[in-house]
């Protein structure tokens, strides 16, 4: 959030090695080759996990702040269930990927997976589109990058990050559908990552339940399904809000 207040700070939260390569290469182009007055701030984690190959054509989206990592099964007679859009940023993306598997295997819900490398860049692009539309009222409306990227991908959007919810909330006005954010609001704590993600309610089970609840709110599922998922995944419904303890 603080990085977003510095106009020439280009900040990213990559998950996979190929994202880092694309971002660093873009930074070298802008700062060295083109001598632009910008600098890049890249957050890297020390968690060990496998790094897949880069999806074809992902470079532009990585730089802009969002790209389609994995598309869910196409709707057909075998996949007639509802669909959601799952967005993850940084290492939490791996929990989002696991949540997509839970939704598919346990509840027959299809999910498209998106990696959000920079909500700050998405916000800036959205503000630019808004300003253009404000000052050019007679011209065709300009859409933000995130709105254009999500077109053709049905269902509510669920975004999870390692930061406060208002980090992902920055782009809410540019997502014209139900948008749910999960984050680590509250005091910093020291423990194993699996426990911290459970405490702040950003692990795969909370992402899956948030997706089911969004579908229920849209009338795509019965609320009883959400209750079943809460029970199945052992979520404590009576614990205090994590940002209050």
pLDDT tier at 245 (50, 70, 90 boundaries)? confident
User: pLDDT tens, 203-232?
Assistant: 999 999 999 999 999 999 999 999 999 999
Q: What is the CATH number of domain 62-244?
A: 3.40.50.920
Answer yes or no: is pLDDT of 238 > 70: yes
- Give me the residue spans of the domains in the chain: 62-244
Answer yes or no: is pLDDT of 132 > 70: yes
User: pLDDT tens, 151-202?
Assistant: 999 999 999 999 999 999 999 999 999 999 999 998 888 888 999 999 999 9
Residue the block writes with tokens 């020390």: 46
pLDDT tier at 1 (50, 70, 90 boundaries)? confident
Averaged pLDDT for residues 79-87: 89
Averaged pLDDT for residues 60-78: 89
DSSP characters for 152-200? Answer: T--S-EEEE-SS-HHHHHTTGGG--S-EEEE---S----S-HHHHHHHT
Q: What percent of the chain has pLDDT over 90?
A: 91
Whole-prediction pTM:
0.94
- pLDDT score recorded for residue 208: 98
- pLDDT score recorded for residue 81: 83
- Residue 58 has φ and ψ, to the nearest 5°, of -85, -10
């Amino acid at each position: 959030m603080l990085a977003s207040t510095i106009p020439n700070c280009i900040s990213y939260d990559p998950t996979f090695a190929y994202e880092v390569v694309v971002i660093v290469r873009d930074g070298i182009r802008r700062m060295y080759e083109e001598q632009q007055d910008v600098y890049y701030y890249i957050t890297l984690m020390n968690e060990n996990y496998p790094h897949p190959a880069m999806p074809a054509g992902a470079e532009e989206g990585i730089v802009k702040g969002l790209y389609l990592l994995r598309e869910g099964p196409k709707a057909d007679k075998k996949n007639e269930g509802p669909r959601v859009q799952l967005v993850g940023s940084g290492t939490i993306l791996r929990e989002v990927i696991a949540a997509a598997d839970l939704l598919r295997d346990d509840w027959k819900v299809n999910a498209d997976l998106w990696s959000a490398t920079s909500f700050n860049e998405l916000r800036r692009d959205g503000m630019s589109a808004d300003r253009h539309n404000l000052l050019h009222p007679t011209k065709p409306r300009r859409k933000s990058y995130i709105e254009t990227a999500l077109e053709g991908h049905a269902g509510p959007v669920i975004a999870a990050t390692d930061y406060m919810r208002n980090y992902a909330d920055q782009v809410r006005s540019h997502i014209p559908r139900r948008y749910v954010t999960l984050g680590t609001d509250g005091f910093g704590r020291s423990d194993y990552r699996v426990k911290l993600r459970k405490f702040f309610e950003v692990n795969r089970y909370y992402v899956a339940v948030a997706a089911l609840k969004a579908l229920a709110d849209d009338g795509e599922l019965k609320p009883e399904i959400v209750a079943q998922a809460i029970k199945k995944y052992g979520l404590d419904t009576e614990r205090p809000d994590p940002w209050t303890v």
